[in-house]
Amino acid sequence: MRLITHNMLSSNIKGVVNGFPLRIEAEKVMEKTMEMNSEFLEKMFEKVDWKAFVDASRAMGYTELPEEANSSMLDSDEFLNRFHHALLELDLEEGALVCPETGRRFPVSKGIPNMLLHEDEV
């Protein structure tokens, strides 16, 4: 699972009011290489919750993102490269996603989060 997906996910357990962001427990992180597309990154910059993104990147072992970001930084190749790498090239292979309100752990195995809810959570 890449951080582009993590940044879009929230816990949808019944009764949870604010299930975003899910906390990451990383046991195994893989890195992949993808071609960068700056136009896509500009679009994603508008959608990404930046604080959640920085915290998640750190949980994945990547610490090169600035605490805060604004759209003028998209003119910088260095910033684009870091944004691209953190968003699309880091892959959570093993670990868990944890609901911020209930502490419920959703296991991640072979890169696939299992967010199927139990009967009483629906």
Partner 1 sequence: MGLISKVVVPPENFYDDVEARKYTSFSHIVQIQRALELLALPDDHVPKLLLDISCGSRFSGKTLSENGHHWIEIGISASMLNVAMEREVEVDLLLGDMGLGIRPRVIDGAISISAVQWLCNADNSSHNPRLRLKAFFTSLYKCLSNGARAVFQVYPENIDQCELILNASMHVGFVGSIVRRKEFLVLTCGQHSINVSISKGKNEDGDSYSDKDNEDEENQTFFK
Q: Which residues bind partner 1 (CB under 8 A)?
A: 1-2, 4-5, 7-12, 19-20, 32, 34, 37, 39-40, 43-44, 47, 49, 88, 109-117, 119, 122
Q: Least distance from C-beta 51 to partner 1, angstroms?
A: 14
Q: How far apart are alpha carbons 53 and 30 in whole angstroms? A: 17
To 10 degrees, what angle do helices 38-47 and 77-84 make?
A: 70
Q: How far apart are alpha carbons 25 and 60 in whole angstroms? A: 8
Q: Least distance from C-beta 90 to partner 1, angstroms?
A: 12
Q: Least distance from C-beta 98 to partner 1, angstroms?
A: 14
